[in-house]
Amino acid sequence: MAGMPRLVPETSCRGVGKDSGPVARVEALRRLASGPLTPHVVVRGDYGVVPWYGAGGGLHVYHLEPGGWRVILGGGGAPDSQIMIEHGVPAAYLCAFGIFDAKCP
């Protein structure tokens, strides 16, 4: 990844910057990650987010269904709270996922 800036672990008040959630679910999503750099995976309930970087960046949002994890939202950039909610993600999970405009305590 020549030319990429060194990744500095995030230490935000939202707790994002390291893997979080049930280990088996985090590992399953990490195996599905599409970017060459996946700094962390966060799982809450049956939803998970996987940010990725390298030749761009973005965030994939997954939902656990009977057949396994399915991408319900993702691509380049970061979705806002409204888009996440429209795709079924509970509002209570947005702060844990580090969504930039979430109303957090």
Please tell me the predicted confidence (pLDDT) of residue 58. 86
Tell me the residue range of the domain where 57 lies.
Answer: 23-93
Q: How many domains does the chain have?
A: 1
pTM, two decimal places:
0.82
Residue 12 lies in a domain: no
Residue 79 lies in a domain: yes
Model pLDDT, residue 12: 43
Q: What is the pLDDT of residues 39-84, one digit of tens each?
A: 899 999 999 999 988 878 889 999 999 999 999 998 788 899 999 9
Strand pairing report for 42-44 and 68-76: unpaired
Which has more confidence, 1 or 2? 2
